[in-house]
């Protein structure tokens, strides 16, 4: 139970009572929700565009030990409706302890850079959509006096590469926005956690060959739960990617251009 307004009961494993997944069919988002919800039979709300897929995801989370499951219509690109979407959450869910920003598009780099609207769709979904919905979400959590926005970023945004610069740049923008939003929430009780995984085999990456330092949705979920319990602000999954990316960020442009062909 809650200890009062502005406080939320968490046990040593970071168990929470209400979890919202924006992009509720995301493999990583589902894994995190299942990991968090199972510890206390928490309420999980899965928000997205495809009701049948959301219901299937809800069954997975329920089987992991969640209590109540809510399916909510949400479109990351419907920026005009985001304020109203967030405004309706307290009535249906009450306070939200953790909101996971899990929606995103990978795109097809080779096709998208040649023209069409593919690149704009990636940027609009991954960055603009997140900015649009997370600003009112942050205000709501400040009003609650607690809550954590979990951003699923990527190491692709740490040092944008030739092979996926459209997707990588959208994640770089998302990551920067999340950092600044976190600073703006300091002292409010609301927080931001940025999760930077390496390659994760999911529906979105189906057919791609896993590179070094790959991980799994379940490993990301475990690391996220641990970070929430200990109050971390930025994590890499696997953790050994942190020093790797620290080096990659500072490689000279000329060297990066040679090795990233």
Q: What DSSP string describes 202-214?
A: SSTTTTPPP-TT-
Distance CA 216, CA 197 (A): 9
Is the preceding peptide bond at 139 cis, omega within 30 degrees of 0? no
CB of 26 closer than 8 Å to CB of 209 = no
Domains of the chain as residue ranges with CATH: 18-259 (3.40.50.720)
Distance CA 71, CA 61 (A): 12
Q: What is the pLDDT of residue 15?
A: 63
CB of 96 closer than 8 Å to CB of 22 = no
- The maximal CA–CA distance of the chain, rounded, in angstroms, is 57
Q: Of the residues 167, 183, 236, 253, which is catalytic?
A: 167
Residue 218, Cβ density class (10 Å: 0-12 exposed, 13-18 middle, ≥19 buried):
middle
pTM exceeds 0.75? yes
Query: For the chain, how far is it from start to end, CA to CA, in angstroms?
Result: 55
Q: What is the pLDDT of residue 201?
A: 74
Q: What DSSP string describes 19-60?
A: EEEESTT-HHHHHHHHHHHHTTT-EEEEEES-HHHHHHHHHH
Spatial strand order in the sheet of 18-22? 69-73, 43-48, 18-22, 98-101, 147-152, 190-197, 234-237
Residue 101, Cβ density class (10 Å: 0-12 exposed, 13-18 middle, ≥19 buried):
buried
Q: Is 236 a catalytic residue?
A: no
Q: What is the pLDDT of residue 99?
A: 98
pLDDT along the chain (261 residues), means of 10: 40 71 97 90 96 97 94 98 97 96 95 96 98 98 97 94 94 98 97 95 72 88 96 96 91 80 65
């Amino acid at each position: 139970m809650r200890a009062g307004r502005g406080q939320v009961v968490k046990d040593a494993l970071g168990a929470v009572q209400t979890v919202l997944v924006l992009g509720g069919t995301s493999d990583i988002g589902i894994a995190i929700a299942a990991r968090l919800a199972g510890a206390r039979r928490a309420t999980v709300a899965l928000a997205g565009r495809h009701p049948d897929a959301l219901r299937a995801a809800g069954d997975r989370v329920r089987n992991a030990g969640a209590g109540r499951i809510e399916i909510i219509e949400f479109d990351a690109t419907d920026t005009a409706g985001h304020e109203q979407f967030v405004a309706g959450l307290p009535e249906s869910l009450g306070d939200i302890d953790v909101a996971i920003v899990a929606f995103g598009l990978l795109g097809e780099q080779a096709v998208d850079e040649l023209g069409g609207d593919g690149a704009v769709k990636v940027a609009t979904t991954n960055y603009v959509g997140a900015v649009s919905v997370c600003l009112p979400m942050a205000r709501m959590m400040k009003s609650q006096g607690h809550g954590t926005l979990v951003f699923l970023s990527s190491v692709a945004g740490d040092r944008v590469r030739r092979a996926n610069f459209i997707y990588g740049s959208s994640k770089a923008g998302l990551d920067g926005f999340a950092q600044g939003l976190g600073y703006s929430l300091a002292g409010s009780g609301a927080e931001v956690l940025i999760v930077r995984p390496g390659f994760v085999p999911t529906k979105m990456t189906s057919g791609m060959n896993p590179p070094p330092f790959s991980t799994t949705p379940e490993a990301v979920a475990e690391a996220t739960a641990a970070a929430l319990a200990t109050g971390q602000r930025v994590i890499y999954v696997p953790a050994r990617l942190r020093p790797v990316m620290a080096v990659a960020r500072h490689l000279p442009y000329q060297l990066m251009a040679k090795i990233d062909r």
